[in-house]
């Protein structure tokens, strides 16, 4: 049973009671991520996420770690492009402790200068590690160049230079502006009573400012073409992406099925044709990178420079096939069952349920029922996927990012004409 309450300051509290559960997952979600940052403050949301674990007015960083360990729980956080999340998973009778710990972290962090300096170095090392890992950096570069000039394409980590300029005063100001009631969603799933959660959240977060509301983001527009980051590597890493659909688009189920058949598993067309049949790459897969107002379907692969042209030709050929010929009945059935199975299996975990509550609220403004989602997958037809593919796979909506030492003519293999 899912219940929702909006507090006086705009904070939304959403809970789901799970019969037979022993645990509860509690998440503090805020609609603030890397797309809400200026270039000068790129990475500040991620820095803020780190710093909220570095000490409050009543707990040191060590106290925070010891407290969650003392109840056998899990405490973690992550930053994405459109939101940040801080969450705890504990036994159900420890819910009061979880609320106290999360509220202390979010509301009472001190942003000590010495701790910030240490954490800045940690984050800069994280950035350097990505820069030194070609199969990581190719995705960041793809986003930057595909969504050229738009903050949705900025790296979540920021840059070593931008992170180096962030100080405690800037962090406090940024948090005061962004962590307001109209952007905050607090979700709990497991063995929880809604009124109990609401009462505890009301008491803990009553002083949070409501915020101005009505925030709008500029629509990201995709670029076409290609970019090469030349590195002295034996392999060449690539991301080939096309503009796709936002998270709440009515045709998203067709897109999910398309991605599943294309490259989301070991039985997918790309894995079978590129790796299993021809042995041209160790890693080849596709994924969806969808936001509230835009999205991309991306194929990643890593192969030798001698094989790159052939791999890219196979990838574009498979994309063309989707646009020209409806998939087989067997492929469609397998993709539907795969997606439904993954969805239903995920519901056995309280942390997945908690995440689902938050993302439904963020992207749909309501709770989508499981029955609605299953029916969405069931409604997909092979002809519908083909029609969607023909509208998406166009040269003016495609971008290729390369990292390595490609042959000069490799990129010429990428065309949907």
**Looking at residue 69, what is its pLDDT?**
97
Q: Supply 93's token pair.
A: 């009778």
251 and 342 belong to one structural domain:
yes
Give the residue numbers spanning the domain of 362.
Answer: 225-413
256 and 352 belong to one structural domain:
yes
**Looking at residue 290, what is its pLDDT?**
96
| b/e per residue 228-252 (b: at least 16 CB within 10 A) | bbeeeeebbbbbbbbbbbebebebb
List the Cα angle 62/67/73 in 5-degree steps.
120
Where helices occur in 85-226 by DSSP H, the ranges are 95-108, 113-131, 134-146, 160-164, 168-178, 194-205
CATH number of the domain enclosing 146: 3.30.830.10
User: For 88-108, how does the pLDDT look when each residue is reduced to its tens digit (9 = 90+)?
Assistant: 999 999 999 999 999 999 999
Are the C-beta atoms of 338 and 374 separated by less than 8 Å? no
- By the 10 Å C-beta count (0-12 exposed, 13-18 middle, 19+ buried), 385 is classed as buried
* Gap between the Cα atoms of 191 and 202, Å rounded: 19
Residues 6 or more apart whose CB falls under 8 angstroms from that of 153 comprise 143, 144, 145, 146, 147, 220
184 three-state secondary structure: strand
Q: Would strands 283-290 and 84-91 be described as parallel, antiparallel, or unpaired?
A: unpaired
Half-sphere exposure of 284 (CA within 13 A, CB side): 27
User: For 57-84, how does the pLDDT look when each residue is reduced to its tens digit (9 = 90+)?
Assistant: 999 999 999 999 999 999 999 999 999 9
406 and 327 belong to one structural domain:
yes
User: For 197-226, how does the pLDDT look when each residue is reduced to its tens digit (9 = 90+)?
Assistant: 999 999 999 999 998 776 778 889 999 999
Domain-located, residue 216: no
Are the C-beta atoms of 308 and 407 separated by less than 8 Å? yes
**Looking at residue 51, what is its pLDDT?**
98
Are the C-beta atoms of 262 and 269 separated by less than 8 Å? yes
Domain-located, residue 213: no
Please report how the helices 308-324 and 252-263 are oriented relative to each other, as an axis angle in degrees rounded to 10. Answer: 140
**Looking at residue 214, what is its pLDDT?**
67
Point out the residues that are catalytic. Answer: 49
Element (H, E) at 63: helix 61-70
* Gap between the Cα atoms of 15 and 28, Å rounded: 12
Among 170, 205, 240, where does a domain finish? 205
182 and 232 belong to one structural domain:
no
**Looking at residue 218, what is its pLDDT?**
87
246 and 119 belong to one structural domain:
no
Residue bearing tokens 């196979």: 314
229 and 120 belong to one structural domain:
no
DSSP 8-state class, residue 58:
S
133 and 193 belong to one structural domain:
yes
196 and 287 belong to one structural domain:
no
- Structural domain count, the chain: 2
Q: DSSP strand E in 268-332: where?
A: 283-290, 295-304
| b/e per residue 111-142 (b: at least 16 CB within 10 A) | bbeebbeebbeebbebbeeebeebeebbbbbb
* Gap between the Cα atoms of 242 and 251, Å rounded: 16
Domain-located, residue 215: no
Are the C-beta atoms of 41 and 156 separated by less than 8 Å? no
Domain-located, residue 403: yes
**Looking at residue 412, what is its pLDDT?**
65
Domain-located, residue 231: yes
89 and 190 belong to one structural domain:
yes
* Gap between the Cα atoms of 306 and 190, Å rounded: 52
46 three-state secondary structure: helix
Ranges of the chain with pLDDT below 70: 214, 412-413, 417
Among 205, 234, 249, where does a domain finish? 205
Among 176, 205, 234, where does a domain finish? 205
216 three-state secondary structure: coil
* Gap between the Cα atoms of 104 and 51, Å rounded: 13
| Dihedral in degrees, nearest 10, Cα atoms 198, 19, 362, 97 | 40
Are the C-beta atoms of 175 and 211 separated by less than 8 Å? no
**Looking at residue 226, what is its pLDDT?**
93
Domain-located, residue 218: no
> How many percent of the chain have pLDDT more than 90?
93
Domain-located, residue 286: yes
265 and 409 belong to one structural domain:
yes
47 and 186 belong to one structural domain:
yes
283 and 194 belong to one structural domain:
no
CB atoms within 10 A of CB 271: 20
**Looking at residue 210, what is its pLDDT?**
93
Domain-located, residue 217: no
């Amino acid at each position: 049973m899912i219940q929702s309450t909006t507090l006086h300051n705009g904070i939304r509290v959403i809970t789901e009671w799970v019969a037979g559960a022993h645990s509860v997952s509690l998440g503090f979600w805020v609609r603030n991520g890397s797309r809400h940052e200026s270039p000068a403050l790129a990475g500040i949301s991620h820095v803020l996420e780190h710093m909220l674990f570095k000490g409050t007015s009543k707990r040191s960083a060590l106290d925070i770690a010891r407290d969650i360990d003392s109840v056998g729980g899990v405490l973690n956080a992550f930053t994405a492009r459109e939101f940040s999340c801080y969450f705890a998973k504990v036994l159900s009778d420890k819910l009061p402790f979880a609320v106290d710990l999360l509220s202390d972290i979010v509301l009472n962090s001190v942003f000590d200068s010495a701790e910030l300096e240490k954490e800045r170095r940690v984050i800069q090392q994280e950035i350097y590690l990505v820069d030194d890992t070609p199969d990581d950096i190719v995705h960041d570069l793809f986003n930057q160049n595909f969504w050229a000039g738009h903050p949705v394409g900025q790296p979540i980590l920021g840059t070593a230079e931008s992170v180096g300029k962030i100080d405690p005063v800037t962090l406090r100001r940024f948090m005061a502006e962004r962590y307001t009631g109209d952007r905050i969603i607090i979700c709990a799933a497991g063995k929880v009573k809604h009124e109990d959660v609401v009462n505890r959240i009301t008491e803990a977060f009553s002083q949070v400012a409501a915020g101005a509301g009505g925030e709008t983001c500029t629509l990201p527009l995709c670029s076409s073409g290609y970019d090469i980051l030349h590195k002295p590597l034996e392999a060449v890493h690539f991301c080939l992406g096309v503009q796709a659909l936002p998270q709440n688009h009515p045709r998203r189920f067709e897109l999910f099925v398309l991605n599943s058949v294309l490259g989301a598993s070991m039985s997918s067309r790309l894995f079978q044709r590129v790796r299993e049949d021809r042995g041209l790459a160790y890693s080849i897969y596709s994924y969806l990178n969808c936001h509230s107002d835009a999205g991309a379907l991306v194929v990643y692969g890593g192969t030798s420079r001698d094989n790159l042209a052939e791999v890219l030709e196979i990838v574009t050929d498979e994309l063309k096939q989707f646009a020209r010929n409806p998939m087989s009945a067997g492929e469609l059935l397998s993709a539907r069952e795969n997606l439904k199975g993954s969805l239903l299996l995920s519901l056995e975990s309280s942390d997945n349920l908690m995440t689902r509550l938050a993302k439904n609220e963020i992207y749909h403004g309501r709770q989508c029922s499981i029955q609605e989602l299953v029916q969405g997958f069931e409604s997909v037809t092979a002809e519908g996927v083909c029609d969607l593919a023909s509208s998406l796979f166009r040269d003016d909506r495609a971008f290729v990012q390369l990292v390595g030492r490609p042959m000069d003519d490799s990129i010429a293999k990428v065309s949907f004409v």
